[in-house]
Amino acid sequence: MLTAHNVSLEVGGPGDSEGNSVLHLLREVSFTVPPSHLMAIVGPSGCGKTTLLKVITGIQEQTQGELLWDGRNLSEEEDLHPGDLGYVPQFSVAYDLLTVEESIASAMTLRTQLAKTDDFIPSLDYILEVTGLTHLADRLVKVLSGGQKRRLGLALELVTDPCLLLCDEVTSGLDPRSEHEITELLRVLSRGHPKRVVINVTHSLASLDAYDSVMVMYQGVLTFHGPPKAMMHYFAVEHPEEVYLRLTERKNGDWHESWLKHRDTYYKRHGFDGKRVLPEEDAAAEKDAAPKRTTVREGRSVAEDSSAHKAPPEHHDFPPIEMPTMVTQLFELLRRRWTIFRRDKAQVWLHLAMLFGFPLLVVIFALDGIKPLRSLSTYQNENVMAEKTSVIQHKLEQLDAGGLVSGLIMLQVVLVTLMASNNAAREIASERLILEREKLGGLHPFAYIGSKVIFLGLFVLAQSIWMGFFVDLVVGGLPGDLMTKIALLVLASAAMTSVCLGISAMSRSPEKATILCIYLVGFQLPLSGAVLTLPDWLENWVQPLIAAFWSWSGGLSSMRSTAFYDAVKQVTATDLVSPGLAAFVLGVHVIVGLAMSFIGVQRSQWDS
């Protein structure tokens, strides 16, 4: 049983004429929902329906009042176990490139230990059957209709057989038939567990007869709670749609006081005293209505989904739900991410194009300069230094060779940071809402971040190592230690990847994350000091933040034991740092980026 006593939520507001700056999102909301009960929360937009649902869920914490589950105060004692709570948001919580069955199986692996038991397949089959998705098990999520996606959202929450199922507008935006079917499914689910309470926030008033009770919210206060048949009588209207108009005729406080005054009378008159709905009402709601019928759609025969009209399957007894280990979650996230990547053909081809195209671009810029690069050392002897004209020629070739080597190293660095930005910018921001739901279901942040580090780390190694080896092979061997230069390329890519991953975790949308990461890469070249030098007072503040500088500078310093180092110094006004120092600073960038990622993942962004 779920009970609320004077639940209120206050936040800082813009202030009124009297200087008050407190905004009451919820004010003294009290109600009781008995077991095996389906309740609707209705009201105009912005009245506090979703806010109340988030308070019950624990996403937001009330500022006053109590929430009780079976007599246990959820504010003072431990919150509900993630397996006891199901929350279906109004947006899709499944990946488009997974199938229905894969989505449910992944949720089961992330939230339970059923994957290691014989109960896995029976539980999966039961969830598919009770939600009417059995015949859609092999379909990709992206081809599902709106009603089918709502069914999938419910299915993802049933993996733990929750006793409290909260739904945020799962019937909104659907055609009347689909809305009726989803409502009937909610009713079936409310009877599928002896202690289950199902609450659905909805704008629609068309299917209220299927609910055991209706709660009407208006400007943060509760104005009615009772059986649907009593709602129109209480508001003195003939049609449910007229309730919203009637609410505007009085202030929210007046409605609230009126309900407190008449509540007990209405409860007594309509038999709503916290007991379970009468058995005959259950039977009437769950009886078979019609068999499947066939229609023609887009030139082919399609059996319409009439699962809502079937007798519900016999309830499956789930074993005690235990959370999986962090390692199990990590490997499941990796498996799922790889499946999504390989099915996204556009992303696969883009990564292949960058992997092979960017090194070719570096080589193209090096073609005209290969000759002076290779012949530079042939002039370094006593005869050349003795002749004035030869000295001048040698100096010119030094400048050409130094500029070429410096430019090639910087071009490699900038291109690997560009690839890193492309890899990580949208990695978390694009799946933020799915992440929030999985966190609520018990997903460990370390498992999530760890899966991203491993997945993106493979791209870092492949792109950086191939860039270094390919360019060195085609050019005929750039001066300096090859392994040192490749290691610095890897660190530069890792630094940019982790920082962009952190930006992605902090951002409220993938578009914002992408723009910020593009700007970050765009400033790498001009602020590195490879082309233009900054004033000394500014350079000391900027250089520590520019990953490209440290990889480029450390790569050039690896040539210190060669004749090319003097040539490089001729064209480089910026002081070069040792490879060891460069590696250390890039490592700090990696740590900072990962810290940003962890903080961003832990921070709630439900409203993004």
Q: How far is CA 294 from CA 297, 315, 327, 358, 566, in A?
A: 10, 29, 47, 54, 82
Q: What is the DSSP string of 563-586?
A: THHHHHHHH--SPP--HHHHHHHH
The per-residue pLDDT for 337 is: 97
- Write down how long the chain is: 608
Amino acid in the structure at residue 119: D
Residue whose C-alpha is closest to residue 227's, from 178, 261, 278 = 278
What pLDDT, on a 0 to 100 scale, did the predictor assign at position 584? 96
Residue type, 90: Q
Q: Quick one: pLDDT at residue 363? A: 87
Give 10-residue mean pLDDT values along the chain (608 residues): 90 59 85 91 89 89 88 74 87 91 96 89 93 94 92 94 91 86 91 88 86 92 91 89 90 91 85 51 41 36 44 73 92 97 95 94 75 50 52 52 76 94 95 92 95 97 95 80 92 97 94 93 82 72 88 85 68 79 96 96 79
Contact between 211 and 40 (Cβ < 8 Å): yes
pLDDT at 130: 92
**Phi (first) and psi of residue 217, to 5 degrees:** -105, 145
Residues of 359-392 as b/e, b for ≥16 C-beta within 10 angstroms?
Answer: beebbeebeebeebbeebeebeeeeeeeeeeeee
pLDDT at position 479: 76
> In sequence order, what are the beta bridge partners of 41?
201, 215
The letter for the amino acid at 577 is V
| DSSP 8-state class, residue 604 | -
Give me the domains of the chain, ranges plus CATH numbers.
2-285 (3.40.50.300), 331-337+356-460+476-602 (no CATH)
pLDDT score, position 475: 78
Q: What single string gives the DSSP state of each residue in 483-500?
A: HHHHHHHHHHHHHHHHHH
Which residue's structure tokens are 């943060």? 220
* 279: CB partners within 8 A, 6+ apart: none
Torsion angles phi and psi, residue 46, rounded to 5? 80, 15
CA distance 108 to 95: 15
Residue-level pLDDT at 282: 43
Q: Give the pLDDT score at 14.
A: 58
What span, in angstroms and rounded, lies between the C-alpha atoms of 485 and 494?
Answer: 14
Show the beta-strand stretches assigned E in 343-441. Answer: none
